[in-house]
Structure 1
Amino acid sequence: MTSELVIDVKAEEISIALLEDKNLVEYQTETTSQSFSVGNIYLAKVKKLMPGLNASFINVGYEREAFLHYLDLGPQFASYEKYLKQVRSDHRKLYPFEKAMHLPDLKKDGSIASTLTKEQEVLVQIVKEPISTKGPRLTCDLSFAGRYLVLMPFHDKVSVSSKIKSGEERSRLKQIIHSVKPRNFGVIIRTVAEGCDGAELQNELQILIKRWEDVINKAQTATPLPQLVYEETSRAIALLRDMFNPTYSAIYVNDKAIFDEVKDYVTLIAPEKAGIVKLYEGKVPIFDNFNITKQLKSGFGKTVNYKHGAYLIIEHTEAMHVVDVNSGNRTKAENGQEQNALDVNLGAADELARQLRLRDMGGIIIVDFIDMHLAEDRQLLYERMCKNMQQDRARHNILPLSKFGLMQITRQRVRPAMDIHVEEICPTCFGKGKIKSSILFTDQLERKIEYLTKKVGEKHITLHVHPYVEAYITKGLWSIQRRWQLKYGFGINVVASQKLAFLQYEFYDKNNQFIDMKEEHDN
């Protein structure tokens, strides 16, 4: 299996797609203005205490206050609290962390009212992004994740991932970290560290310690509160950090700055794989070139078709996700209804595992499979689902089918489920149901080209349109595009874009920056 990562960078958002054997399996997108990301650390104040919930609400600058439960304060909260007061008390000289006092662990059965006070300053880290009507979820047990290690201030223990089975290797890794770890730091050694030499681990440990030092330096003088004192790495780098493996055949990026950032990171963690990072400079949009746009539009609807006419119905609710499996117009198997139900269900298990990763669905997922009477068939389906989910990095739990044919799945949720609206609003009527005559569409485009070239002075323009419209404009010896070029300059190019609706268009300048030329009422 070959894996390819495709990164589409735009002025307003960055999107990342993971392909396995050319099939889209993971997709993440975020706006460049979005500031609430898992891993970010804030110096903030307690807004209010909720003794009934044994929790508090913290103002971190989001429209809804963030939620901090007593158990999320972490066992080392007293140590954090004392050290933060020492740091904040002197804005000129930083109190050394190695001299910080390690206080007793917080009691598990304590109360929030006896631990926190209103307006108290706390260092908090986001563990769940805002979802629906809920604000971010916080923890005071800070951690800094690298590729091989996770650093935890005020912990002294060194732990090794349970997925590393060799006792000899576990002992070797622990010995390396103990020999280089400063006082007052705990470390978790991640699975990918298996086989790493001491120099690599020590280098990453120093990088993570430097991040903690930067947090404290910013917290020392931060005002007014809340203040962001540590920002998680960009989505592209964060995804690479957690997912990178030697099976990647290529990483394509369509932006020079992000390309340099990604290449530097890959060179740091795997110098021999630096050559797989490639700058995409094609004229066709990068997602169109790798057939990602089509897969997005076909994979994110309410109805998802898979092999032989069968399909899934996926519904999202506030409390859970519900999936219904339907055989559709599938031809029945020769072995009868039971075999037909098994085939449809096994195909559904394959597609559902991909959909969970693709949409990043979390929380409770209820799947209504087609009824099967044989216990061995139900067991086979359960084993197939478990095997498919082994590729999923999110923590999950799967229960065997109930007597009603329902399968219950829980999957870790740290950010809202990916929900892409595949239905398109008509760009020419803006949902009103009436449009101008489509024969005048090219005249409308020409007026805008004339305005850009003669009034604005843009000499190099790229026009993105629906593939059908692109063919109409560019085909033929004496095409519309050629006439435009002769009249307004040869810097006018027309590109087909699969993401656009039939009479939708977008203009870009020579630096590939979007030019907003859309009007609800064109003059």
Structure 2
Amino acid sequence: MKRLVIEHTGFGVRGAVLEERDLLELIDADALGDWVTDALFVGRADAVDVKLNAAFLDCGLAQHAFLGAKDARHLAGEYEKRPIGRFVRQGDRVVVQGMREPVEGKGARVTTDVKLFGFHMIYRPHGTPPESAPVRGRERVLLQERGERLFPQGGVTLRKLAGEVDDATLEAELARLEGRWRAMEREAAEAKRPGRLTADEHAVERLLRGLVEPGLRRIEVADEELFARCRALLEGPLAPHGIELVRLDARQGAFEQTDVEDAVARALAREAPLRGGGRLLIEPTSACTAIDVDGEGREALDLNLDAAREIARQLRLRNLGGTVIVDFVDLPTKPQRQRLEEGLKRAFRDDPVAVQIYPMSPLGIVQLSRARRGRSLDALLRGICRHCEGTGREPSLRAAAEELLGGLRRGSSGLSEVRVGRDLLLYLEKELGEGLRPLLGGARLVIDPGQEPGGFSFGGD
């Protein structure tokens, strides 16, 4: 049975998907801060680079966003290869959607192929590109046929959850998504400067849009406001799916009560144990993620098949993307290597992002390519150790900010002040802006020179 545990972070909400006791995925839906992926922006083309065949857009972010010609063509509905100047000129204002977070000095990557997500469908206002990936599997084919019958105008892709609702529900959802897009266009036209477009949905709704799927049977929440919002959605558009809502103790964090907190700590570790014995050693680097399978004497094929399942879970949980190099224990025969390749494909079958698996080399090396989707769990919650500035990791300012805001939200009301390090205060002010004040519940943040970097302490009256 799959269940979802939702926690307030102060920046928005975080959802943990569990199957039995295994933590499968951890997803953030921020309402405040600098997140880019899936967000909508009105951008201004400040430069068009013919050599790169791309435009650089001011989207109100710290760095200009990158819009390649391939991702700009949706504006014109022309899907053959064309120069960037055919779609965007310097000074143009365009509505774009975030594809990739800024990384290592590079700005965010954006696209004009806007996708608005509903619970049961994905709506593309500019239509579906003709070279979209082919649909495979009987269930997907049936959903595609149903979508084409209901919405012959195109631009609609039915999601798995659509198989559990009637046509009227789908038609009503498309009407809501079309209305949302019209509101976004109006906002972009009236915007005085480039920047993020205002979302018309709460972070809880955005989170559930990404995580509610067939098989999810229960949602667990501690925070009173989040509980009320979840109940409204489960009694409204999600009512046909019969998902149970469980109220946890509001005096404790939901992750703490459900052991998710400990599971997250394990997901940040270098080592991941295998159930049948052995372990994975996971080493993310700037170029790729390297994974070594250590069997401690186990039979090679059984060990590798066990490792394949755990690798799929760990990559999804840690949100690791890009190139992944796995050093499996050597398999002497071709049939054994084929069994492992088939096992890997099964393990990644339910991964929500695209995964490409390449054949095993004679030395037991398998290369995977997993699409990047937002920040990795490590990048979100940890940073470079300030003491050694080497390979060590320690909690990030984001993690410290979430702990501070969580303490205020759960029973620390009435405090007159919170003593914080200067770096933590500057981080909170920069990331949350005017949204910080309501989260403090009347408390003042006071710089304490005696605090460690990222440190804080609650004070009394």
TM-score class, shorter = 0.7 to 0.9
Separation in structure 1 between the aligned mates of residue 233 and residue 383 of structure 2, nearest angstrom: 38
Q: State the match for 1:229 in structure 2.
A: 197
Separation in structure 1 between the aligned mates of residue 207 and residue 56 of structure 2, nearest angstrom: 30
Deviations 1:202-257 (A, max 9, x none): 1101101110110122123210x203335374554333223323432321122222
One-letter code aligned to 1:192 = L
Separation in structure 2 between the aligned mates of residue 358 and residue 193 of structure 1, nearest angstrom: 25
Q: 1:155 and 2:127 equivalent? A: yes
Give the match's secondary structure for 2:236. Answer: helix
What are the residue-to-residue correspondences of 1:170-189 with 2, within 5 Å?
171-178=145-152, 186-189=155-158
Residues 9, 175 of structure 1: CA spacing in aligned structure 2 closer, same or farther, 3 A cutoff?
A: same
Q: State the match for 1:501 in structure 2.
A: none
One-letter code aligned to 1:186 = G
One-letter code aligned to 1:135 = G
Deviations 1:337-393 (A, max 9, x none): xxx222322222121111011011111111011112122222222122111111211
Q: State the match for 1:259 in structure 2.
A: 227
Give the match's secondary structure for 2:309. Answer: helix
Residues 196, 275 of structure 1: CA spacing in aligned structure 2 closer, same or farther, 3 A cutoff?
A: closer
Q: 1:216 and 2:153 equivalent? A: no
Give the match's secondary structure for 1:4. Answer: strand
For the 8 Å contact 1:11–1:513, the answer to whether it is kept is no
Separation in structure 2 between the aligned mates of residue 422 and residue 150 of structure 1, nearest angstrom: 30
Separation in structure 2 between the aligned mates of residue 300 and residue 457 of structure 1, nearest angstrom: 31
Residues 170, 378 of structure 1: CA spacing in aligned structure 2 closer, same or farther, 3 A cutoff?
A: closer
Separation in structure 2 between the aligned mates of residue 194 and residue 324 of structure 1, nearest angstrom: 40
Separation in structure 2 between the aligned mates of residue 296 and residue 39 of structure 1, nearest angstrom: 24
Match of 1:203 among 159, 162, 172: 172
Answer with 201-210 or 167-176: which moved more.
Answer: 167-176
What are the residue-to-residue correspondences of 1:135-146 with 2, within 5 Å?
135-146=107-118
One-letter code aligned to 1:16 = G
Higher Cα Rg, which structure: 1
Q: Normalized against structure 1, the TM-score is what?
A: 0.68
Give the match's secondary structure for 1:403. Answer: coil
Kindly, what percent of the aligned residue pairs are identical? 25
Match of 2:91 among 91, 116, 119: 119
Match of 1:304 among 272, 280, 296: 272
Residues 65, 287 of structure 1: CA spacing in aligned structure 2 closer, same or farther, 3 A cutoff?
A: same
Q: State the match for 1:383 in structure 2.
A: 342
* Alignment: residue pair count: 405
What are the residue-to-residue correspondences of 1:320-339 with 2, within 5 Å?
320-327=288-295, 330=296, 332=297
Q: State the match for 2:322 in structure 1.
A: 363
Q: 1:280 and 2:248 equivalent? A: yes
Residues 127, 269 of structure 1: CA spacing in aligned structure 2 closer, same or farther, 3 A cutoff?
A: same
Separation in structure 1 between the aligned mates of residue 368 and residue 21 of structure 2, nearest angstrom: 27
Separation in structure 1 between the aligned mates of residue 174 and residue 332 of structure 2, nearest angstrom: 55
The alpha-carbon deviation at position 48 of structure 1 amounts to 1.0
Separation in structure 2 between the aligned mates of residue 207 and residue 167 of structure 1, nearest angstrom: 25
What are the residue-to-residue correspondences of 1:478-493 with 2, within 5 Å?
none
Separation in structure 2 between the aligned mates of residue 290 and residue 168 of structure 1, nearest angstrom: 37
Q: 1:110 and 2:82 equivalent? A: yes
For the 8 Å contact 2:29–2:206, the answer to whether it is kept is no
The alpha-carbon deviation at position 172 of structure 1 amounts to 4.7
* Structure 2 unmatched ranges of 5 or more: 389-411, 417-439, 452-458
Separation in structure 2 between the aligned mates of residue 73 and residue 203 of structure 1, nearest angstrom: 30
Match of 1:354 among 305, 313, 323: 313
For the 8 Å contact 1:396–1:410, the answer to whether it is kept is yes
Q: State the match for 1:507 in structure 2.
A: none
The alpha-carbon deviation at position 53 of structure 1 amounts to 1.1
Q: 1:291 and 2:259 equivalent? A: yes
Separation in structure 1 between the aligned mates of residue 362 and residue 141 of structure 2, nearest angstrom: 42
Separation in structure 2 between the aligned mates of residue 228 and residue 425 of structure 1, nearest angstrom: 29
Residues 358, 168 of structure 1: CA spacing in aligned structure 2 closer, same or farther, 3 A cutoff?
A: closer
Give the match's secondary structure for 2:110. Answer: strand
For the 8 Å contact 2:42–2:195, the answer to whether it is kept is yes
Q: 1:128 and 2:128 equivalent? A: no
* Structure 1 unmatched ranges of 5 or more: 79-104, 334-339, 433-455, 461-510
Deviations 1:137-196 (A, max 9, x none): 111122322122222224389999654559777555433224xx6xxx732233432363
The alpha-carbon deviation at position 291 of structure 1 amounts to 1.3
For the 8 Å contact 1:60–1:226, the answer to whether it is kept is yes
Deviations 1:321-350 (A, max 9, x none): 1111122xx3x35xxxxxx22232222212
What are the residue-to-residue correspondences of 1:416-427 with 2, within 5 Å?
416-419=375-378
Output the aligned Cα RMSD.
3.6
